[in-house]
Structure formats: C-alpha cells, structure tokens
Structure 1
Amino acid sequence: MTTLSIFDQSVPESPRVVTEDSGKIANLLAEHGVRFEQWSTRELPADASSDDILQAYSGEIQALKAECGFQAADVISLNPDNPQKEAFRQKFLDEHVHSEDEVRFFVRGQGLFYLHFGDQVYAIMCQKNDLISVPDGTRHWFDMGPEPAFTCIRLFTNPEGWVADFTGEDIASRLPRYERLAGVAG
C-alpha cells in the first residue's frame, strides 16, 4: 500500500505523520508542488520489453508529454537477481536535485522517494499504479531497497535522461531506509 511518512529533520528516527490515504497523500504533496496520482495499470506479461510497456501506456505518455513538455520516455526495471543491484541502489541514495521534473509511473513493484522540504522530509512508498512528479530543484533521493523489484516509466524534458546535482548533505543517511519503512507500509 502507498504510504506517506513525514519526518522532522531534528527527529529523524520516527515519523510524526504516517498515512495510507491516497487523497490525503496527494493533498499533502500538492502543498509542495508534487504531483501524485494513481493510474490504472495494464496486464502485461512478466517478460514484457521496454517497448511493450511504453506502447501499452502510449496514451498516458503522450498526454503527459503534451501537458508538461516532456521530450523522452523510457523504462527502468530492476529485479532482486540483478548483479549490480547494490550499485544501482547507491547511485540514488544521496540527496540531489534536478533541473527538470522527475516523473515516475510505477508499472510494477515499489520504491521509496524522500522529498526534503525545509526541516521536514516526506517519505513516499510508491507502489504499482502510482505516478509521482517531483518538481525541478526539489531536494530528494530514492531508495529501491536491498532486493529491488520494480518497473517504472520515466519521462524527461532533457533527452539525455537522468542528470543529478548532488547537494553534499548527509540527511539521507540519517533517516530510516527502505527496509524499515517497507515494514511501515505493510
């Protein structure tokens, strides 16, 4: 289940708010310019290719491109048997920003986005059916867990794809990781 946990930066060991109410999650995120929606997913074979996935969601992708000016879309998918899973996890675990919105639609599985707003951190356990769009310049990081199992469609305004500017802050190391919050999410 999709879960939002809100932490005060000064008390990073326990959240002050936890909710699984998708409407409340959308409203709390919208206060910070973050788009959160839940879309219907398609039934696709387990071995569906990136092209198959992009084709299955072509209507939604084209609508987002037209609405937001995205130029490119791709698919990222990781499974627990990936020999580079730890390197992939580490790549996204430090706080960073982008010069464009970071958009993810979860076709399968789950992952944890952390969004840093002032002295608060919002941790959103995104699940299959969740669309999140993190505005450019938003301090954030992503934790896919030690045994990643997800497939996401990503959209970009920069045709080169994912480009991060790391903040150098250590906040990501002070908050509970995926392993603990996945337990909160059930």
Structure 2
Amino acid sequence: MSSLSVYHVSSPDLPNKVLTHFEDIAATLAEQGIHFDRWQATTRVEPGASEQEVIGAYQEQIDRLMTERGYVSVDVVSLDGNHPDKDELRARFLDEHRHAQDEVRLFVAGRGLFSLHIDDYVYAVLCERNDLISLPAGTAHWFDSGENPYLVAIRLFNNPQGWVASPTGDDIASQFPRLDD
C-alpha cells in the first residue's frame, strides 16, 4: 500500500502524520508542487516483459504526459535482489541530491521510497505498483530501493541524455528511515 509519512527535520524518528489514502497523499504532495497519480496499464504486463512491452502497456498515458510536459525520452529500469550491482545502485541514490530536470517515475511493479526535503519537512513517499510520482526540477530528495530491491519503473526525461544528480552535500538522508524490507 502506498503511503506518505511527513516528518519535521528535527524529528526524523517520529512522523507528524502518516497517510495511506491515495487522495490524501496526492493532495498533500500537490501542496508542495509534487504530482502523484495512479495509472492503470491498458494490457497486462507479464513478468520478464521487454522494455517495449512495459512502455506499450502505458503508451497512451505516456504520450499524453510527454506532450503536456515536454518530455523527450522514456525508458524502463528493472532492479531485483539478483542484480549484480544492486548495492552500488542503491548507494548512488541514498544521499540527498537534486536534478536540473523533472524526475518522473511510474512504478509498474515493486516499490521504492522517495524522500523529499522541502523547507523544514521530509515527505517520505512509498511508491508501489501503478504509482506515478513527478518531482519538479530542483527538488531535494533521495531514493531507497531497499536491501533486497524489487522494482520495475518507467522513467520520463526532459533531455535525451537522462538525468544527472547533483549532491546537496547535506547528510540529512542518513537521519531518516529507509525502506524496510
């Protein structure tokens, strides 16, 4: 189940609120300029599906979003506990960083925890199957796929080279809960 835990930066062990209803999560994130949505595949995505099959299951919605927001490329990332670089990939995203372009993820399978540092709060968004999250360029955040990751996600980009992370240098991410396996 998707959830949103909102923490004050001074209390990383105790969230101010925890939301589990989609409408509440979406409304709370919208107040911060974060888009949170749910998409349904138009066809069933089978385990082991190719990148083209995964994208094809959401093609109409992807095309609409690319047109509306000017995204120019799309791909699929797949990560599980057997991936030889899972620890390195996890570590790469655990520190707070920003991107010069939007970060858009649609979770086709599995889950991941986006933690967004906005003003004096951290918004920890547990994304699961069919969740779409869109972070505007410049949003300070970190991402955790867990010690035993499992996720398949569609990524949309503003530039054809994908995104480049710029570390903030703040160690705040180490103070907050990570994705529990």
Q: TM-score of the superposition, structure 1-length normalised? A: 0.94
Query: 2:2 maps to which residue?
Result: 2
Query: What amino acid sits opposite 2:100 in the alignment?
Result: S
SS of the equivalent of 1:178 reads coil
Give 1:162 deviation, angstroms.
2.1
Query: What amino acid sits opposite 2:125 in the alignment?
Result: I
> How many percent of aligned residue pairs carry the same amino acid?
47
Query: 2:178 maps to which residue?
Result: 177
Query: 2:121 maps to which residue?
Result: 120
Query: 2:14 maps to which residue?
Result: 14
Q: Which moved more, 1:42-51 or 1:119-128?
A: 42-51
2:100 matches 1:133: no
Query: 1:29 maps to which residue?
Result: 29
Give 1:135 deviation, angstroms.
0.6
Whether the 8 Å CA contact 2:33–2:136 is kept in 1: the answer is: yes
Map Cα deviations across residues 78-111 of structure 1 (whole Å, 9 max, x no partner): 0111121110100111101111110000100110
Q: Number of residues paired by the alignment?
A: 180
2:146 matches 1:150: no
Query: 2:107 maps to which residue?
Result: 106
Paired with 1:118 and 1:65, the residues of 2 have a C-alpha distance of 29
Give 1:58 deviation, angstroms.
1.4
Query: What amino acid sits opposite 2:112 in the alignment?
Result: G
Paired with 2:50 and 2:169, the residues of 1 have a C-alpha distance of 36
Can you give the 5+ residue segments of structure 1 that lack an aligned partner in the other structure? none
Paired with 1:133 and 1:59, the residues of 2 have a C-alpha distance of 17
- Name the structure where helix makes up a greater proportion of residues: 1
Give 1:60 deviation, angstroms.
1.1
2:29 matches 1:64: no
Correspondence list, 1:88-107, <5 A: 88-107=89-108
Query: What amino acid sits opposite 1:150 in the alignment?
Result: L
Q: TM-score of the superposition, structure 2-length normalised? A: 0.97
Whether the 8 Å CA contact 2:97–2:166 is kept in 1: the answer is: yes
Paired with 2:8 and 2:104, the residues of 1 have a C-alpha distance of 25
Can you give the 5+ residue segments of structure 2 that lack an aligned partner in the other structure? none
Paired with 1:107 and 1:130, the residues of 2 have a C-alpha distance of 8
Query: What amino acid sits opposite 1:96 in the alignment?
Result: H
Give 1:56 deviation, angstroms.
2.0
Paired with 2:154 and 2:35, the residues of 1 have a C-alpha distance of 15
Paired with 1:51 and 1:39, the residues of 2 have a C-alpha distance of 17
Whether the 8 Å CA contact 2:44–2:57 is kept in 1: the answer is: no
